[in-house]
Structure 1
């Protein structure tokens, strides 16, 4: 339990600069929950978390850049080819980071990361849906 608390504190303080955005309070809560979820589901030790989360931050930033690029093209007439190009770019990024993650955490945890990330998004979506129904 003490290790988990130390890990969460480390992660929180290493991610603080990211949260200096508009609506940061809402996004900060989601990001902290996501980091805690990933840490728990992948059973990361403090040493693994210390190596993993800087890479995770790089990954998240690259994915955001890809999404931003896609959104900026949404105003333009997009073709089927552009959608495939977008999907290929996301896939290439994930493959690249799966290999980078293996330098910080065991391969089994590295491979499972994307599944855990998807599970978190699904849970978040369900939570938001249930709040909207209230």
Structure 2
């Protein structure tokens, strides 16, 4: 099973690399397939775990992205605020969003540890960051080659 996962990862990685070289825009589907393969391999997920893990992870990621987008808009807005009362409201809204993000992460971790082991759950954050860094480095290398 692990050999298959590694093979899938390298196929996705190769496809992603080729797609990026041929086109400045990346293919979101291929990127997500590579992310799935990378994280599945890193966490050493069994098929039964992966089947339950990915719907939970994807749902969490969508909610997290939504909260982060809202927080980003709020941060941009706060740069233009000079009224103290409005500034205080923006600060409070920012804290509310950060608390919401933390509460969602706690819920996600509780849910996910019903599917994967705590040690796998701990590895998840670094695996996701490592994948993002890897894609970023690939993109930087591609930009220098052009």
State TM-score, norm by structure 2: 0.67
Aligned residue number for residue 19 of structure 2: none
Measured on the aligned residues, the alpha-carbon RMSD in Å equals 2.6
How many pairs were matched up? 117
Query: Quick one: distance in 1 between partners of 2:113 and 2:55?
Result: 13
Query: Quick one: distance in 2 between partners of 1:70 and 1:98?
Result: 22
Larger radius of gyration: 2
Match of 1:107 among 118, 124, 128: 118
Q: Are residues 33 and 27 of structure 1, via their aligned partners in 2, closer, same or farther at CA, if it must alter by over 3 Å?
A: same
Does residue 61 of structure 2 align to residue 60 of structure 1?
Answer: yes
Q: Which secondary structure does the structure 2 equivalent of 1:76 belong to?
A: helix
Aligned residue number for residue 118 of structure 1: 129
| Structure 1: gaps spanning 5 or more residues | 9-23
Q: Which runs of 4+ in 1 moved over 6 A?
A: none
Q: Deviations over 1:57-104 (max 9, x none)?
A: 111111111122123324412569365555444333322211111011
Q: Which secondary structure does the structure 1 equivalent of 2:77 belong to?
A: coil
Q: Are residues 36 and 75 of structure 1, via their aligned partners in 2, closer, same or farther at CA, if it must alter by over 3 Å?
A: same
State TM-score, norm by structure 1: 0.72
